């Protein structure tokens, strides 16, 4: 998965966080393809989940601060993603789920679709309120 300008929300802090999320997804994918030990995969999946929560909190803080009208629906999407990834983690740790291409496709599709269709909607609000 590669970063490109089509994914930019035109706010440096948020773009940097999105790049980090993409990097973590790529790291997870590379570890999975290399057949790395379960512990490495668990650690990488945990880091991805933790960073996603950190990133969502940053976005949500700005949405609340700037009174972004789409805050509630946006937060629900974040919450659903966290719940899904937490479920993946629990199933993986319990041995019920292997890290698969389906998981990787979910992560890639969710992140790119979310940025393009949901995050870009707040760009003007964030920029108008001084974020660049």
Above 70 in pLDDT, residue 29? yes
Start-to-end CA distance of the chain, whole Å, equals 25
Residue 52 near residue 85, CB atoms below 8 Å: yes
Element (H, E) at 115: helix 101-117
Given this model, what pLDDT does residue 89 score?
Answer: 83
How much is the pLDDT for 99? Answer: 67
pLDDT at 125: 97
Taking 70 as the threshold, does the pLDDT of residue 34 lie above it? yes
pLDDT digit string, tens, across residues 58-114: 999 999 999 999 999 999 999 999 998 888 888 877 877 666 777 888 899 999 999
Q: Residue 31 belongs to what H/E stretch?
A: helix 12-33
Are the C-beta atoms of 14 and 119 separated by less than 8 Å? yes
125 compared with 91, residue with greater pLDDT: 125
pLDDT at 102: 76
**pLDDT at residue 63 in the model:** 98
């Amino acid at each position: 998965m590669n970063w490109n300008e089509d994914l930019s929300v035109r706010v440096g802090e948020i773009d940097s966080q999105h790049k980090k999320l993409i990097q973590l997804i790529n790291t997870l994918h590379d570890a999975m393809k290399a057949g790395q030990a379960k512990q490495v995969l668990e650690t990488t999946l945990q880091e991805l989940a933790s960073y996603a929560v950190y990133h969502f909190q940053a976005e949500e803080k700005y949405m609340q601060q700037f009174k972004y009208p789409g805050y509630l629906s946006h937060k629900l999407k974040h919450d659903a993603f966290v719940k899904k990834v937490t479920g993946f983690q629990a199933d993986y740790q319990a041995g019920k789920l292997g890290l698969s291409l389906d998981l990787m496709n979910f992560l890639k599709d969710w992140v790119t679709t979310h940025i393009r269709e949901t995050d870009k909607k707040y760009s003007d609000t964030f920029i108008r309120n001084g974020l660049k």
